[in-house]
Chains A and B, each alone.
Chain A
Amino acid sequence: MSVPAGRPAPSGAFEFLTTKKDEFVGWARKFSLFPYPFVTACCAMEFMSVSSTLYDTDRFGAALPRFTPRQSDLLMVVGTVTHKQAPILRKVYEQMCEPKWVIAFGVCATSGGFYQNYAALPGIDKIIPVDLYIPGCPPRPEMVIDGIMKLQDRIAGDRHPIVNERF
């Protein structure tokens, strides 16, 4: 078989494949979640546990924490948020670029938990939209991993408009 000069020989493996745009972008996005840990309380211990060696969220493509919201696309709100802190959380959320997702990690971020008083915000969904709630006080690492995988499934199945008026 003659090969035109300057071209590599065909390997016999896949040279190209076809897919849909949304599936392709979703597949890329679900494995490149850059979390921003907004860590305020004792759930931080469980967050450290789930993100470090033993459980290792890096296996799911969701580990490299970015300590600026501008470079991240997954906001993990870990722990109690007080009314005094709520403006900060809102600002952090607003600084994140699209596309972005939010996980409420632990029962305090989900609903305020057992704090029902003058100080605590009863769930971060009162001020920002939340994609995934992980209950527990604190949640087991397995629950967090399960939650991340559920979020990844959602991202994979989602529509991903590449160009619209917002993005």
Chain B
Amino acid sequence: MDDAVFNRIRERLAGIAGEAAVAHGILVLEIEPTRLLEVVRALKDEFGFDMFLDVTAVDWPQREPRFDVVWHFYSTREFVRVRVRTRVQFADPTVDTLTKLYGSANYMERECHDMYGIVFRGNDDLRPILLYEGFEGHPLRKDYPKHREQPLVPYRDPKP
């Protein structure tokens, strides 16, 4: 049953999305960052993917484009999941925001911005959500030093 849905999605997005393999029961759509809104709108309006599950990123420090940005959606009509993946450059890690389509995307885009520095074009509220004001860098990038701390409270004198 899932395959039938996946095949319809493949047909609909032929020419827009690249590879569309099934991994662990999830359809994986590889797309260009510029096609994001088009693809997600089609998924939402035509296939019932009305639940925004997550957006995150993957850092491949040796690769250019360096970052994968990954979204997950769930269809409450078809009961299947889909993963949308795209690649962005280190110099310009920008993708479109999905907050216009899914209100719940806001928090997760803020987290992704905190951790990886992905910029969501059109999301005006990319304040830190898990980190704090004044935090420099993006800690889940591979080049963030493992031991680098940015304490908010000055450390005590370590005398006994």
Query: Is there contact, CB below 8 Å, between A117 and B139?
Result: yes
- Cα distance A165–B80 when bound, in Å? 69
Residues of A within 8 A of B144 (CB): 118
A86/B153 contact (C-beta < 8 A), A117-B139, A119-B139 known: yes
Minimal beta-carbon separation of A84 from chain B (angstroms): 5
Q: Is the CB of A118 within 8 A of B148?
A: yes
Most buried by A among B148, B150, B152: B152
How many angstroms from the CA of A3 to the CA of B63 in the assembled complex?
Answer: 100
Interchain CB contact (< 8 A) of B146 among A86, A87, A116, A125 = A116
| Interface hits, B126-160 → A, CB 8 Å | 131-132, 139, 144, 146-153, 155-156
Once the chains bind, are B156 and A87 in contact (CB under 8 Å)?
A: no
Count of chain A residues near B, Cβ 8 A: 16
Interface residues on B, range: 10 to 19
Give Cα A125 to B156, complex, Å. Answer: 8
User: Known contacts being A84-B132, A118-B139, is A126 close to B148, with CB within 8 Å?
Assistant: no
Q: Are B131 and A84 in contact, with the CB atoms below 8 A?
A: yes
* A118 proximity list for chain B (CB < 8 A): 139, 144, 148-150
User: Once the chains bind, are A127 and B146 in contact (CB under 8 Å)?
Assistant: no
Which of B132, B146, B151, B153 contacts A117, CB < 8 Å?
B146
A121 interface residue, CB < 8 Å from B?
Answer: yes
Q: Would you mind naming 30 contact pairs between A and B with Cβ atoms under 8 Å apart?
A: A83-B149, A83-B150, A83-B151, A84-B131, A84-B132, A84-B152, A86-B151, A86-B152, A86-B153, A87-B152, A87-B153, A90-B153, A116-B147, A117-B139, A117-B146, A117-B147, A118-B139, A118-B144, A118-B148, A118-B150, A119-B139, A122-B149, A125-B156, A126-B151, A126-B155, A126-B156, A127-B153, A127-B156, A128-B156, A129-B156
| A→B interface (CB under 8 Å) | 83-84, 86-87, 90, 116-119, 121-122, 125-129
